[in-house]
Amino acid sequence: MIPSIIGAKYGKMIGEFGSRSTHGVSGAVFAANNKTIVIDQFTFDGTANTVVLIGKTRIATLNGTEVPVVPLGREAGSLGAYHNDLLVLDIPGTESISEYKYIAVWNTDNQGESFGSVTIPDDFTPPAPHALGAILVGKKHEVSVLNIIIEDSKKVSFIGMSYDGQGPAVFFWAGHAAQPDENGTALLWKDAVSQEVKRIFRAETITVTLPPGNLTISDYSYISLWCVKFVVSFGHFFLVNTSSWNVPPSTDVIRVYDNCEVLSADHLQVRWSIKGGIIDVQLSGKIPLSSFMAFGVSGMTSHIRGSDVAVAWVNLRNMKPTVVDYHMQSSSQCSMGSGACPDTVAKPTEGTNDVALTSSSTVGGVMRISYSRYLDTGDSLDKVIPTDKSVYVVWAIGPVKDGNTVLFNEDTIVSASTQINFGRTASNVCPELINIPPYTVDPLPAWPTLEIRDQDQLRVDLGPAGGVRGYSAITEKRGGWKYSWYINGLLVPVIKLQRGKRCIFNVFGGNDPTNPGNYHPFYLTSSDRGGYSQLSEEQKKEEVIYADKQTGPLCKYIDDGSNPDSLDSFAEYQAHLTLDCSDRVVGGLLEWTPDSSTPDTVYYQSYTHFGMGFKIELSSSAAIPTLSFSMAIGLLLAAILKKLLAE
């Protein structure tokens, strides 16, 4: 029997299918935790009507409990063919592995037959989190804990942790030296790019995770709260006797994927493995937590209509991950069963939910959600996923409202232009999305604010937001979209106009509402955020529109791939921009004459997207002096008298 230790890849070994197994059944069976079974090097010939059974009798019988390969909450499907594959199974119900006596590959025909089984020992203890106690040493800055829990082979929880928050450049840290030193590695503890500790802890539970990769906790000698700037530990503990810790393996060790494809550079990736007629998928998105990811199959043509996708997100109200099977009749919001809808409400024919959540994590600014489904679900709304040819896939990123309402609207990015051969030779070369900066640097300063004064003809185009020094820094607002308004070729300038003088805006923001990512009606408003079409009816009542929306053909500035954050002004960045626009197009004209009732400051914005524009500052025209008749006569007489005296 092989004991479970930190670094034992799949947990604690239960046993192996013996030589008496039939139909090619073989493999080593592990308990990853009290509910998860892992069968390594699993082989089976795929004989029909065969399931995995777990039971409480000494010998496998038909009275056991079926363990579904795809946990859809209904009758388990038949096992497919496997050849030295990794099979991960979650036991249904509330009982632990230790309450059962066997695991069997069971054929359900007639009275049933075991094709192979493994006995679970009576004294079997599955892996579980391991408590170390309050063993921190070298404590400074009021650091303390009540307990330290090794959750799994890559995760540690500090229970009741306190810290005064006063240290500069502080990180959770792991290293290989005999004492904490500067050669360690920053650990993940929050859902953000920077993992620097910048706040006070007051008797909190803080969970830290090793960075992605093959290393586990047993590969390190200590874990510390480490001050990089002053090269000192504020509290640490040593990792000793790890071979005696019967802890679970990390989820990313038992959920492995043979393939990876980049769907959107630096934003969305899909990983997958296929075995036994089942595809295991992981979506990884460097996106806000208030967003969803979607992925699925379009077919032999690059059409969104009729696509079959899984939509995955985290409900921010309870932090519960969710995966739902969707049928896309279009990329618009589901209404009355039409549009992008869950299969279970799609019209005219309802389907079933055929995707099952398997794992999730949100750390380091990256959301990862994994799910499984059959290649052929048997549902008429689902596409059969082929393994012998390339097909077009659909992916999407969009907002989630109130934690649980997926929105397919103007802010949703949908693409159907990528092709994937799901049965290709294994290729897993995606770059890692989690990238922990070693130090926190001071925020880059905003580019100088630009101004346009007293011009009555203004051209309005789209263009990139200019990185961290552009739109967000200039306007001190969080950008709502990847584009911003360019006025006369300048990124979000302050426009200074005079009341009573007409101004004409020549708009090139896109006029095709079926392409929401490039559809930006231009309007003038009291809102410094814009996005009027996305507001609730109550919110709309609070906004004043001074010039209603105007559309025009799409003209967009494109950069040459340069990094705007490395440039000190928009003028430098401007040299890297090229306007993509046909010479033949004519813009949409918006005419506006501010008057005495117009406030001193209004905003130019996108009607369909938040945070793309800036402000217009108004002043009154200089007054022209007027003379009364009597004053004019007096001035004339004074001039005549002055002339006579001079003579």
CATH number at residue 463: 2.60.40
537-573: per-residue pLDDT in tens? 888 999 999 999 999 999 999 999 888 988 999 999 9
Integer Cα distance of 168 and 163 in angstroms: 13
The reported pLDDT for the residue numbered 403 is: 87
Q: Same domain, yes or no, for 210 and 271?
A: no
Domain end residue (candidates: 420, 438, 469): 420
Q: How is 437-472 classified by DSSP, letter by letter?
A: -SSPPPPPPPPPPPEEES-SEEEEEEEE--GGGSHH
- Overall average pLDDT of the 427-445 stretch: 73
pLDDT score at 2? 40
- Segment 335-353 shows an average pLDDT of 93
Decide which of 529 and 200 is more confident. 200
CA 638 to chain centre: 80
Tell whether 4 is covered by a domain.
Answer: no
- The answer to whether the CB of 134 falls within 8 A of the CB of 147 is yes
Q: What share of the chain is helix, strand, coil (3-state, %, to 5)?
A: 10, 40, 50
**Which pLDDT value is given to residue 3?**
42
Whether residue 406 sits in one domain with residue 355: yes
Tell me the average pLDDT of the chain: 90
List CB contacts of 31: < 8 A, sequence separation 6 or more. Answer: 4, 11, 12, 14, 37, 38, 97, 124, 126, 127
Distance CA 587, CA 590 (A): 9
Looking at residue 111, its pLDDT comes to 85
Residue 628: pLDDT over 60: no
Residues 208 and 351 both lie in one domain: no
Residue-wise burial string across 97-128, b where 16 or more C-beta atoms lie within 10 A, e elsewhere: beebbbbbbbbbeeebbbbbbbbbeeebebbb
* Cα–Cα dist 512/410, whole Å: 12
In the predicted structure, residue 8 carries a pLDDT above the cut 70: no
Report pLDDT for 478.
Answer: 56
For residue 194, which amino acid is it?
A: S
Q: Same structural domain for residues 278 and 412?
A: yes
pLDDT score of 632: 47
Q: Is residue 354 part of a domain?
A: yes
Interatomic CA distance for residues 549 and 525, integer angstroms: 10
**Segment 332-351 mean pLDDT:** 92
Please determine, for residue 624, whether its predicted confidence score (pLDDT) is greater than 50: no
* pLDDT for 635 beyond 70: no
Of all residues in the chain, the percent with pLDDT exceeding 90 is 73
- What tens digit of pLDDT does each residue of 363-375 get? 888 999 999 999 9
Of 10, 8, 6, 245, the residue nearest 131 (C-alpha): 245
Q: Residue 2 gets which letter from DSSP?
A: P
Residue 502 and residue 522 share a domain = yes
Our count of domains for the chain comes to 4
Q: Alpha-carbon Rg of the chain, whole angstroms?
A: 32
CB burial string 46-73: b at 16+ within 10 A, e below: ebeebbbbbbeeeebbeebbebbbbbbe
Confidence of residue 229 (pLDDT cuts 50, 70, 90): confident
641 located within any domain: no
168 with 230: CB under 8 angstroms? Answer: yes
pLDDT at 433: 87
Read off the pLDDT of residues 373-416 as tens digits, 9 standing for 90 and up: 999 999 999 999 999 999 999 999 999 998 889 999 888 999 99
Range(s) of the domain holding residue 357:
261-420
Distance CA 568, CA 581 (A): 27
Q: Which among 202, 217, 244 is the end of a domain?
A: 244
Are residues 136 and 68 located together in one domain of the fold?
Answer: no
Q: Is the pTM of this model over 0.75?
A: no
Q: What is the mean pLDDT of residues 602-610?
A: 92
pLDDT band at residue 260 under the 50/70/90 scheme = very high
589 pLDDT higher than 50: yes
pLDDT of residue 89: 94
Clarify whether residues 215 and 284 are in a common domain: no
- Is 114 in the same domain as 135? no
Domain final residue, candidates 119, 143, 172: 119
Write out 559-610 in H/E/C secondary structure.
ECCCCHHHCCCHHHHHCCEEEECCCCCCCEEEEECCCCCCCCEEEEEECCCE
In a domain, 329, yes or no: yes
Mean pLDDT, to the nearest integer, of 573-583?
Answer: 93
Instruction: Please report whether residue 32 resides in a domain.
Output: yes
Domain assignment present for residue 202? The answer is: yes
pLDDT at 5: 44
- What's the average model confidence in pLDDT over 466-492? 85
Lowest mean pLDDT among 7-16, 378-387, 535-544, 616-625: 616-625
C-alpha–C-alpha distance, residues 100 and 22, integer Å: 23
Is residue 644 over pLDDT 60?
A: no
Judged against a pLDDT cut of 70, whether residue 29 lies above it is answered with yes
- 627 found inside a domain: no
Asked if residue 533 and residue 482 are part of one domain, the reply reads yes
What single DSSP character describes residue 516?
G
In the predicted structure, residue 231 carries a pLDDT above the cut 70: yes
Average pLDDT over residues 241-246: 90
How many other C-beta atoms can be found within 10 angstroms of the C-beta atom of residue 176?
A: 13
Structure tokens at 551: 């559309």
Percent of the chain clearing pLDDT 70 (strictly above): 93
Report whether pLDDT(639) > 80.
Answer: no
Average pLDDT over residues 188-209: 93
d(CA 541, CA 536): 9
Residue 230 — pLDDT band, cuts 50, 70, 90? confident
Is residue 443 one of the residues assigned to a domain? no
The domain spanning residue 341 has which CATH number?
2.60.40.1210
CA 88 to chain centre: 25
User: Residue 535: which region, alpha, beta or left (left: phi > 0; alpha: psi -120 to 50)?
Assistant: beta
End-to-end Cα separation, the chain, in angstroms: 129
How do residues 113-160 score in pLDDT, each as one tens digit?
A: 999 999 999 999 999 999 999 999 999 999 999 999 999 999 999 999
Q: Do residue 239 and residue 265 come from a single domain?
A: no
Q: Are residues 408 and 332 part of one domain? A: yes
Residue 481 in this model has a pLDDT that exceeds 80: no
Residues 107 and 137 in one domain: no
Distance CA 560, CA 483 (A): 15
